[in-house]
Structure 1
Amino acid sequence: MNVLVFNVGSTTLKFACVDTSSGKRLTEGLIDRIGQPGGDAGDHLSAAKAALDQHRSLSVDAIGHRIVQGGAMFQTPALVTPSVIADLRTLDSFAPLHNPPARSVVEAIDEMKTGLGQVLVFDTAFFATLAPAAYRYAIPESVYVDHGVRRYGAHGTSHRFVTKHAIEYLSKRQPALASNARIVSLHLGGGASATASVGGVAVDTSMGMTPLEGLVMATRSGDIDPSVPLHLIRNAGMTADQVDRLLNKSSGLLGLCGDCDMRSILNRRDEGDDAASLAIDIYIHRLVKMIGGYVAEMGGVDALIFTAGVGENSAEIRRLATERLQHLGIKINASANQSGLSTDAVTDISDSGAAAKTLIVRTNEELEIAVQTAFIVG
């Protein structure tokens, strides 16, 4: 089946047409700076039409959409219907940068009457297996029930994909691990998250009600004292919207050193830049603490996965993140780490004597979305 996958951002629309029988991408592209001066499209409706126009010569069987936030109501992929769209609209506030533009594309295509089935694949769905101890916050029951304040996670489509491939790799070597492999997966890109899973079932994750919680990211602060926003509103005269922008768009690596490109920051650190060095130190400190906590929670670890832009491509970040984890059985081979990704689905960079495997797995969210879409439509 040929599935056209849409991955919508606040000002972008990435697309790829995937042949689910072979896993190959037939097309891929990006419509950028939507709604901005000089951008590729005036709005997301125009962008969706342009993407569809590019595929008129292809036989497209269905459309799959990446949706960041599915809340508690969407724990599996959903075929688009009027009621599903109405339910999706209620989740806009949980992911205000991602859900509304993605929903607008879904609605636009629905109004076009293309005859193609549309399927929503939710980043949060992988975390539907979390126990209340992992997803509840220590707040009154009424706030949880009435306002949906709980951990939902994010990047679940990526974590599901790389974990599945890691288990396939491990089970060929140790069949007993197929059903109980304890894995920590690290999705390290502009956004960054960590997930703990056992036998492919998520048991904890670092992102919370929104994608702001957890690790240090390119422009997001990650974990922070909840009183900080209140302090800034009460004592610095900032509005709630200003604090929102501060923590989501002006913090993280960008806030620490004025740069959010990991390659540039590492180069600056090597040249003696103190701000860049501090940014890397904080990034790694938070990462190591999260990994250690998940290993303790699972009672051990069988594999550590690096994926996404930084995780797949930065040998230095992988080295720094693992060098303090040898007491947990995690040790990498320096040469294999430096060589990085191979052409295989999974690249093993573990030291031969390590108790746990350290793996690089190239994520492919588009393929995962296409496969889930084909299953629902089929």
Structure 2
Amino acid sequence: MVDAPMAVVAVDAAGTVRSSNCTADAYFGQPLSGGVQISTLLPGLDVAALETGPGLEAFNALSRSAGDRVHLQANRNDRPPGLVDVQAARFSARGEDFLTLFIQDVTSVVAAEAAVQDLRQQIIYNWRLNSLGEMASMVAHELNQPLSAILNFLDAARTLVDRPEIDRAKVLKFIESAGGQAERAGDVIRRLRTLMARDTGFHTQVHVAEVIDEIVPILHMSAREHDAAITVRIPPDDVTCCDRVQIQQIIFNLVRNALDAPTHHERRQVVVSGGPTPDGYRIVVEDNGPGVAETVAAGLFDPLSSSKPGGMGLGLSICKTIVEAHNGTIAYSRSALGGAAFAFTLNDGRTNV
């Protein structure tokens, strides 16, 4: 115990530290065996809950698991508080019961994991902005029509107002038509703003059909550029747990890939379907294109791997990262339509956030 590389302390039933090794004294910045209470060092530790076998087993199992609220805060005398993993064991000596705590500092590990998570979010966000660059030209084209219509309706209304006898009904009709076109333009802008929203990592129960319906108009804009048809087959009552913006971005990326694939002089067909499975909610995006060459398929989800000329090879890699953050999987296969099929699962309420 004296030479152990991790901090080790022995605590009695009253929660008083009765002995400690040099590593523990150094970590907490003070000698601990002089009557220090463990509650001042580890305020989140419930010593009484560890007095029973089941309580001790549950505590050790939790400390070996992953996720939030696993690490305990450690108050250190000469430094800011740290985070520690703790394992516990009971023993008796000279008729007295003790609890041995094996304390491992994980402050730097947690900080590194947080930095990696932040980097992942930044990459996904920047990737989303790059995708929005592609959408910007489509949205500009889509906005041009309602804005032009607004000008035409208002010009017609102004012409009527300049006449000696004003036809009030026609003027109001033109003004109402201009208002309808303004609402249409506003809808396009709102959809774009939804996709620009920074990911919060907030997973909620959603109706899958509603999530996809929000981006269907933008998908149809893209489809018109390629003279393609997009079909969505999602039952309206299907629900799952996800970050809706991230899932919209995956579907947008997969549909764009399907539309950008080379053609065989056939009109491109893209189908988005979904349904619950034992492994979670499954969404499939498939097309009738040429599919993916076998030489490329093996590393399709690797970073910097792309089947597109000039592609950066980040889209599918980030799709995989997002899906895995939902405790799901994504895979490629040949589609029954003759082209590529990308299927990914969202593992329902068991998301890892």
Q: Same fold (TM over 0.5)?
A: no
Structure with higher Rg: it is: 2
Name the TM-score class by shorter chain. under 0.3
TM value normalised by structure 2:
0.24
